[in-house]
Structure 1
């Protein structure tokens, strides 16, 4: 009975959590409908609320925004808008910080999480997974020199929070695993071994190709 219960739990818990996350995301994106006038909303047009319609609207807004900003006029408007935000106290520091992070994470030429590393943290003799984010620059590099690297140490099981560290390059061991595999290792709290995660990824890729 215990084995059957645990097996059922291991089967249903991932499904339930996935459904909960998707429901939370879709519900949040459905709030985009509030941007539409009431007479344009599905409730007013067909008398029925359509779940997920906000997701479609959000994707369209993002796509159209990207399409418009790729031309000269759109690029000029964005530049003018950013210049205005940079002149507003407090807002400029928040916007510029978020802008730099998003450009680094989503840009195809960005170097965020370029390599998985093994470092000693939070004390000597204790090791953890970290991700290379770059090298110190500006005044920081003047004080430290060139033999230092910037790393991000994620928390588990939530890797979106963590710690930013600047450590000597010699103290970091580069791992022979992809960033995705290392993230799965962190999220699973070490339960999913890197070899298992890589095999699962290879099987998924083979299934998609077939």
Structure 2
């Protein structure tokens, strides 16, 4: 087998490395967009398959048009949001949650999904009372956390008066740790809940002001 001369092989390797870097740059730029579009399309297809299938059974063939299931799903979600503004629907939802919480396996799944959506939704900031910097004793590191419970005795935990519950999320995955720490280990941060959560979840790659400044640095 004829060997490629080193004078030719070196430029080929450099060109291949350059093409690889260009490809990875393009892939990293377009991948978040593709994933977002894929999730949106999956939700659209799910709504169309669920509600469209129901309409296809209820309506005659000439009256059913593709896309009606998605429209019904959007309208239904909007109506549920409006109805929850009233006392009766809130009581009905509370009763339904009570029933689900009595079913052994269902209550675990439902509780986890409800807490996750509540954390990521508009009421997530109300669940976390404060964004803090955590400094563990005798450890040369700091962590960004969220105070979840100010009074531990109210939930049946016998702790010192100055201890609070702090949630420490993990980067790039759903999970984290809840620590019971004295307040002297915490330093309040002037950072919003969404900015702090994005900073921790993305391992610091998403920083406050990144959209305005381009690279997240403040001058």
Residue 185 to residue 54, structure 1, CA distance change in 2 (3 Å): farther
Is 1:133 the counterpart of 2:148? The answer is yes
Larger gyration radius, structure 1 or structure 2: 2
Length, aligned pairs only: 192
54-63 or 9-18: bigger deviation: 54-63
Mapping of 1:32-71 within 5 angstroms?
A: 32-33=50-51, 36-40=54-58, 44-45=61-62, 49-50=66-67, 53-71=68-86
Question: Would you say the 8 A contact 2:55–2:64 is kept in 1?
Answer: no
Output aligned runs, 1:177-192, within 5 Å: 177-192=191-206
For each residue in 1:129-159, what CA deviation from the matched residue of structure 2 results, as whole angstroms up to 9, or x when unmatched? 212223222321xx1033112222111113x
Question: Does structure 1 retain, via aligned residues, the 8 Å contact 2:55–2:69?
Answer: no
Name the residue aligned to 1:9: 27
5+ residue gaps in structure 2?
1-17, 215-219
1:21-170 superposed matches below 5 A: 21-33=39-51, 36-40=54-58, 44-45=61-62, 49-50=66-67, 53-71=68-86, 74=89, 77-78=92-93, 81=96, 85=99, 88=102, 90=104, 94=108, 97=111, 101=115, 105=119, 111-120=126-135, 124-135=139-150, 136=152, 137-140=154-157, 143-158=158-173, 160-170=174-184
Counterpart-to-counterpart distance in 2, 1:40 and 1:201:
50
CA distance in 2, matches of 1:95, 1:11: 34
Residues 103, 110 of structure 1: 8 Å contact kept: no
- RMSD of Structure 2 on Structure 1 (CA): 4.0
Q: Return the TM-score normalized by structure 2.
A: 0.64
